[in-house]
Chains A and B, each alone.
Chain A
Amino acid sequence: AQKVTQAQTEISVVEKEDVTLDCVYETRDTTYYLFWYKQPPSGELVFLIRRNSFDEQNEISGRYSWNFQKSTSSFNFTITASQVVDSAVYFCALGGNYQLIWGAGTKLIIKP
């Protein structure tokens, strides 16, 4: 069975600190995709990144970076120099066409 675990229910840091959100997944598929979405207080989820199982390159986009390691089945997300606007619930998801398995989400609170 496929499963996504986000063990951190809530993280609170002071602005400008770096923060890493953990995501561990389980799948028997050899081909799969991993995703991160952000849910701000407004409610709609916003796509952040997709990574396929063939590509273990780390990715950096501005203050955001992602570390994909198949050996540990992890796809962690780091925000560098966090800002108050980063406060949201972040979801990790696993899957392919039409059906995703979602983690429970990590609520990130950035204090000014």
Chain B
Amino acid sequence: DGGITQSPKYLFRKEGQNVTLSCEQNLNHDAMYWYRQDPGQGLRLIYYSQIVNDFQKGDIAEGYSVSREKKESFPLTVTSAQKNPTAFYLCASSSGLKLFFGSGTQLSVL
């Protein structure tokens, strides 16, 4: 089945540690996105990529980094510079204006 796969489902980060969230899609979509979701808030865009080897910062890119070496993959690294990383992270891809989402990764700080 076509879709977006995020892993792991749950992730724990120690202070000062970088962690990487995986996002893979087999929908053949050019555009991919990372969103952060905090309780009681809407989604906030971290980074997006319109094409391989290119990506742009969203509204809250500080403390995060991404790469887009393959069309299918758009991993997100939460660096130690992100002081409040606890959140639910959603990866998405788009066909036209319609977004398709993964099932998310819950990141918590130990």
Interface residues of B (CB under 8 A from A): 4, 31, 33, 40-45, 48, 50, 56, 58, 88, 90, 92, 94, 97-104
Contacts and interface: CB of A to CB of B under 8 A. Distances in A.
Contacts of B43: 45, 91, 93, 100, 102
Contacts of A91: 42-43
Given A44-B102, A44-B103, A45-B101, A98 B41 contact: no
Given A98-B50, A102-B42, A44 B101 contact: yes
A42 B103 contact: yes
Interface string A98-109: 111111110000
Contacts of B94: 98
Contacts of A102: 42-44
Contact of B88 (A33, A37, A43, A47): A43
A47 B103 contact: no
Contact of A45 (B40, B90, B97): B90
Nearest to B9: A43
